[in-house]
Amino acid sequence: MQTLKERLSEWIFDAETFNNQSIFLVGGCVRDILLKRSSQDIDLACFNARQFANDLANEKNAVCVVMDKKPQVPCFRLVNRKSPQNYIDITEIRDETIESDLKKRDFTINAMAIPLTSGLLDTNNIIDVVDGKKDLEQKLICQVGKEAFTDDPLRMLRAFRFSAQLDFSIDSNTMKAIQLHAEKIKTMSAERILFELKLLLRHSNVSRHIEKMDQTGILSALFPEIDALRLCEQNAYHHTHVWGHSLEALKAYELLLTELHTHFKSTNDQVSSFLNQNDNMAIIKLACLFHDIAKPDTQKVDPETNRITFYSHDQLGKKQIEKLCDRLRLSKKNSAFLCTLVEEHLHIRDLLKENTRHKTVLKNIRKIGENIIAVTLLSIADKQATCGTQSTPEDQQEYFEKAVQFIESYYNDIQPVICRKNLITGKDLMKNGIEPGPTMGKILRLVREAQDEGTISSHDQAMAMIKKLIKNDI
């Protein structure tokens, strides 16, 4: 992997376009240099950014893409055609000097610059007009100026994201400013909000940052459903209201993640690989927060026993979470994943009962696929966060052990079976006079179930089963 200096030489210092003009390394890259952290991002600032970016792209045979990173600030991404992961961003200096430009940035730790005019990366020559280095040393996230959040309300989410990413604290004045301007987050596009949320939720130990967000009111501004969850009392299995339980579920899930290698001795790699695919980590954490989204609308109190119930909150929850997905502009894949988690988070408990038929377990796994792992992990977190007087540590431990055993069994025993090639296809059925339609679908399903259960294991046995089904009118 190239060093920062090597990449700067490749892109800038060796370029005729550079010609020693006023170019500055800015933002997170400077911050990471001071923190001695590796950084893939190279953010540059200069005057006439559009012209410079186009000229540099032509010289380097790179692709120049106009970005929407910051409102009303022209930004251009240059991408290496042969190596797309090698790119730089060039933004327009939005004032007469770099110093005044830095004063319009989001946080002090991101508002420093290194001049590249000399053709060298001199890390001792850092422009710092807002005490960014001091806040780095004190591990503080501080807004730059009182207009930081009114200029771009999305910066409020970025404050928590940087806090999680760097393990920094948000200073008290910045927290007060977020609380003051929390409602302004509603003016941001769903796409920009989702981008920041996913970045935040990918970090470990994010639950404490979610609680901080909740204290400022920005979480309720984003998800008004939370207010109803906060007011929804529960039965004796729980020790807190629905929202409190949801926060506890997120904590329990993140604790579980730190102990994967301990509990999943033979399948840790497979579980970790699944969780690290795409946006899986972020979506499961959203499910922790909103798996009980429909409890306020399904809450009933038995007049005789005074017991609180939430029948079918998982089914109604799926419908309500669909609306939340639409509002966030989640992709179809992520929406389907989140809906599955909410809909199945209770059903999985029935599958783990000793008297559940293996046939039923296989049927549900075929329906859900590997997402059954996420559903099971969510159910563990849900159970661990259920700490009322009618819930005992023994019950929690018993369920935990069953769930872990189920996941181990899925990867070691079940997945290899259900991933085998079908013994027959629709073409085989058509040769026997079965046309495409509901009947064909039913026969294919029954044969596949028999194959997974081990009742049949060859093409001939499958064909014999088909003939028997046809003879008996299925």
How far apart are alpha carbons 191 and 195 in whole angstroms? 6
- pTM score: 0.92
Scan for tokens 């699944």, then name that residue: 274
Residue 71: per-residue pLDDT: 56
pLDDT on residue 69: 60
Q: Show the CA angle centred on residue 77, arms to residues 76 and 83, nearest 5°.
A: 160
Look up residue 159 and give its amino acid.
A
Q: Residues with Cβ < 8 Å from 126, sequence gap 6 or more?
A: 30, 34, 112, 113, 114, 133
Alpha helices by DSSP H, 385-458: 393-409, 415-418, 426-431, 438-453
Q: What pLDDT is attached to residue 72?
A: 67
- Cβ atoms of 112 and 30 within 8 Å: the answer is yes
- Residue 170 CB neighbour total at 10 angstroms: 23
- Please list the residues that pair with 46 across neighbouring strands: 23, 92
Report the chain (474 residues): mean pLDDT per 10 consecutive residues. 85 77 92 91 94 93 85 86 94 94 97 86 93 98 96 98 98 98 98 97 96 98 98 95 98 97 94 97 99 98 93 98 98 98 97 93 93 98 96 96 97 92 93 91 93 93 92 82
Domain residue extents for the chain: 4-132, 139-222, 224-418, 426-471
Give backbone dihedrals phi and psi of 170, rounded to 5 degrees, phi first: -90, 125
pLDDT value of residue 38: 86
Task: Write out the CATH class of domain 139-222.
Answer: mainly alpha
- Does the domain at 4-132 match CATH 3.30.460.10? Answer given as yes
